[in-house]
Copies of this chain bind each other. A is one copy, B any other.
């Protein structure tokens, strides 16, 4: 039975995780996401669904506990914020290298360094293009509301297991800390160990005589074999781009100018589109929901229609690179962003668009 509640994005993630039947959560406190673990500890799911919740000694321990749980075929997740996610980069590369599904939440704050605890979107490149070493990508989902914080837990796990690849929910301090109403789904059962063994034949369950031993590993010392592995992984990414790109369009049908923004920035841009339309400027918004796989094809289509695109993000310019790569010079792509925890207003976006495309 679903339920309507007012809650923080961070709380919604925790509630949704329990209801979806997540098996384990490992985490370490950091602002602005500590409510995820706090909510779980308050709700004590180990007494109801059997979900394990453990406070690890660090983010590095968290991500490696994830590696243990995920290798067993369990649905495991962690959450952190920017500096903590940086510490997980080796672990994420290992998870990708061992083809393990799992979900990591980054409630982004402003960097670099210890920086600020206010919202930012400056971890886009890390999330999307390569924080850790080696040729791999995470599946990256960008929620823009508390409802999506809840909903994307399920979506992230579904994609992670479909592709045997870690998924990252790229949120930020605004979405994590704000309360909105959210409809929580009904409780699902966790998967039994038996069902798991059938559905995920790669998982370590203890080796029965009926199968070869399962080995969760990312080592391959033979370069040719390792290159084959890499090709296989790249093929997965191709498939993702075919089958699992998600985005939302807002007033794009007749748009002459396109805002491209995700997450919290996209919420604000929606208002900017309204304001622009009130001024008689035909603006639209494309909001990538999957940042990887990126909706490049869609943007390329829109490039044939619009006169210019403005990538709006709470950073110095990271998303804008993917937008430019997608349209490959077909239309001018400009960037607008605030940094350091400052949130742009809808009006600033309007101004930026006008300045870039309509004046001089």
- Interface 9-residue window, one of A71-79, A122-130, A347-355: A122-130
The answer to whether A234 touches B316 (Cβ under 8 A) is yes
User: Is there a chain B Cβ closer than 8 Å to A85's Cβ?
Assistant: yes
Interface residues of A in 316-343 (CB under 8 A from B): 316-318, 321, 324-325, 327-330, 338-342
User: Is there a chain B Cβ closer than 8 Å to A229's Cβ?
Assistant: yes
Return the contact of A226 from the options B220, B227, B328, B339 (Cβ within 8 A): B339
User: Is there a chain B Cβ closer than 8 Å to A93's Cβ?
Assistant: yes
Name the interface size band of chain A. 35 or more
Report chain B residues within 8 Å CB of A96: 112-113
The answer to whether A112 touches B136 (Cβ under 8 A) is yes
The answer to whether residues A130 and B126 also contact, given A118-B223, A339-B230, A341-B226 and a CB cut-off of 8 A, is: yes
A85 to B130, CA, bound (A): 12
User: Is there a chain B Cβ closer than 8 Å to A201's Cβ?
Assistant: no
Cβ of A141 to closest chain B Cβ, rounded Å: 18
Task: Using CB atoms, name the residue of chain B closest to A226.
Answer: B340
Cβ of A343 to closest chain B Cβ, rounded Å: 8
Binding site for B on A (CB under 8 A): 60, 82-83, 85-87, 89-90, 93-94, 96-98, 108, 110-118, 120, 122-126, 129-136, 217-231, 233-234, 315-318, 321, 324-325, 327-330, 338-342
The list of the 10 closest CB pairs from A to B, nearest first, reads: A111-B134, A97-B113, A113-B218, A329-B329, A226-B340, A112-B134, A125-B130, A223-B341, A82-B133, A227-B340
Having A87-B90, A112-B134, A324-B328, one finds 12 other A-B pairs with CB under 8 Å, namely: A82-B134, A112-B218, A113-B219, A114-B218, A126-B131, A126-B133, A135-B316, A223-B340, A224-B342, A226-B342, A230-B316, A321-B325
